[in-house]
């Protein structure tokens, strides 16, 4: 039986608009899913719009947000090489993967959400029922995705993602290119939230799997693993 292949798509963007604030990929949303996929014996590829080194949000290195997996990642030369040498998304065969995982981070709003190949790939994956998992701010990339009939991809779908309330709690809403929550709701999505900010929330609708916040990264990765094992 062929080894299950998972593509992780990271942002290459490391600044938050004109605020001067640094951003990038949320560290644990990269580290924990990566190790879960490796523990499941999946073959994992990291890709990003620019290729090469993918930035990690400096804020996610704070002690409050570090986990066993982020500490493990820092000591893991192989994982560090993967992060420093991501493939350029435009150069990969997007049909060669069994599942896809998008970590979150604020950078996604600036590059991945407007990357035409990423958007077209998501449309194709969902249509072909290839599981696509997106956590935290990654569901913002769905803003411009469409169905074959021209409707918004998320219209009538159950989704979640980082909420306006969570952005407000961090006092970052005013620095963002757009609101993930409002964009998906305006596109007709059934947007769900956990009862409390920062608590896990994973939503499944067909091939689309979404997680609300950093606490949702681990259960979302587990959900994707379960889905891929069921497909084998």
The distance between the two most distant Cα atoms of the chain, rounded to a whole number of Å, is 50
Cα 182 from Cα 191, distance rounded (Å): 9
pLDDT for residue 173: 65
pLDDT tens-place string over residues 29-44: 999 999 999 999 999 9
Q: What is the domain-level CATH number for residue 85?
A: 3.40.50.880
Residue 111: domain span: 5-231
105 and 11 Cβ atoms separated by less than 8 Å: yes
**Alpha helix (H) ranges present in the chain?**
27-39, 68-74, 77-84, 116-127, 164-169, 180-186, 217-231
Q: Give which of 135, 130, 39 is closest to 79, Cα–Cα.
A: 39
Question: What's the pLDDT score for residue 172?
Answer: 73
Cβ atoms 187, 181 nearer than 8 A: no
% of the chain with per-residue pLDDT over 70: 98
Q: Cα-flanking dihedrals φ and ψ of residue 211, to 5°?
A: -125, 145
Segments of the chain scoring below 50 in pLDDT: none
Per-residue pLDDT at 166: 85
pLDDT in tens, 170-216: 777 677 768 899 999 999 999 999 989 989 999 999 999 999 999 99
pTM of the entire predicted model: 0.96
The tally of domains found in the chain comes to: 1
Find how far residue 139's CA is from the centre of its chain: 7
d(CA 141, CA 122): 9
Q: According to the model, what pLDDT value does residue 168 have? A: 76
């Amino acid at each position: 039986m062929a080894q299950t292949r998972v593509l992780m798509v990271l942002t290459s963007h490391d600044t938050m608009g004109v605020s001067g604030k640094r951003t990038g990929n949320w560290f644990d949303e990269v580290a924990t899913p990566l190790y879960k996929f490796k523990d499941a014996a999946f073959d994992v590829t990291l890709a990003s719009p620019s290729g090469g080194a993918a930035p990690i949000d400096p804020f996610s290195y704070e002690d409050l947000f570090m986990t066993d997996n982020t500490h493990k990642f820092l000591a893991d030369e192989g994982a560090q090489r993967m992060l420093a040498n991501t493939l350029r998304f435009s150069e990969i065969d997007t049909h060669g993967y069994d599942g896809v995982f998008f970590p979150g981070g604020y950078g996604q709003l600036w590059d991945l959400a407007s990357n035409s190949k990423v958007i077209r790939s998501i449309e194709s994956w969902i249509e072909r029922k290839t599981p696509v998992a997106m956590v935290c701010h990654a569901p913002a990339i769905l803003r411009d995705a469409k169905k074959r009939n021209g409707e918004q991809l998320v219209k009538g779908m159950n989704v979640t993602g980082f909420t306006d309330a969570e952005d407000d709690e961090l006092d970052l809403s005013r620095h963002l290119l757009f609101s993930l929550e409002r964009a998906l709701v305006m596109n007709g999505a059934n947007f769900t939230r956990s009862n409390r900010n920062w608590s896990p929330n994973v939503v499944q609708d067909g091939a689309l799997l979404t997680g609300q916040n950093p606490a949702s990264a681990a259960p979302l990765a587990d959900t994707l693993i379960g889905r891929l094992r069921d497909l084998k």
